[in-house]
Amino acid sequence: MGLTNIAVAAGIFVVGVLGAAVSRLLADEAKAWTPRAVKTLIRVAVARLPEAQRSRRDEEWQSHVNDTPGDLSKLITAVGFIIASRRIRDFSIPIIGIGKEVRIRLQLTIWLFALIFASILVQMAVRDKDTRETIIIGFAVICLLMMAAKMTVIKNPHADEREAN
């Protein structure tokens, strides 16, 4: 009984020592990888921005991380840049002349038309095998509708103007 207790205690001690060593190694590893991870996150964030803003934000955000103490805080800050880049991108490319809500409704309407048209084409193809030309023309129309939906997003000219300074 006494020997068993000693063995269990020895086992716990060994596991504890090994655990501490491994966690130390992991911490060192994480510390060594943090700068690279931060750079990668900033690169990913910057790549999502309009081209005119990339150079500025890259340097600015690296400077921000540089001024942030602590590896974990640096990582959290860098992850935040991903969120920031998405928001800045969304804000930098509004449709000119109409608001975001109208743009979304317009896109939904166009997509709905495309969907209805596609389902009609599928029905025609199932019923009648000799409608190949109609189907080709129909899909071309759907492609045009999709392009129209895409074109409702027009780059804001102020985005370039702002970054030129």
Residues that bind other proteins (CB under 8 A): 56-57, 59-64, 66-68, 76-84, 87-88, 91-92, 158, 161-162, 165
DSSP classification of residue 95 = P
Least separation in angstroms between residue 82's CB and other proteins is: 8
User: Closer to other proteins at the Cβ: 125 or 153?
Assistant: 153
Cβ-based nearer residue to other proteins, 93 or 141: 93
Residue 65 · residue 77 · CB < 8 Å: yes
User: Nearest distance from residue 10's CB to other proteins, in Å?
Assistant: 47
- Other Cβ atoms less than 10 A from the Cβ of 68: the count is 16
Judge whether 71 and 31 are in contact, CB under 8 Å. Answer: yes
Q: What is the C-alpha separation between 33 and 160, in angstroms, rounded?
A: 34
Report, in Å, the least distance between residue 69 CB and other proteins. 10
Nearer to other proteins, 41 or 121 (CB): 41
Q: Which of 85, 76, 90, 89 is nearest to 43 (CA)?
A: 85
Closest CB to other proteins among residues 52, 142:
52
> Minimum distance between the CB of residue 90 and other proteins, rounded to whole angstroms?
9
CA 38 – CA 28 distance, rounded (Å): 16
Phi (first) and psi of residue 49, to 5 degrees? -90, 160
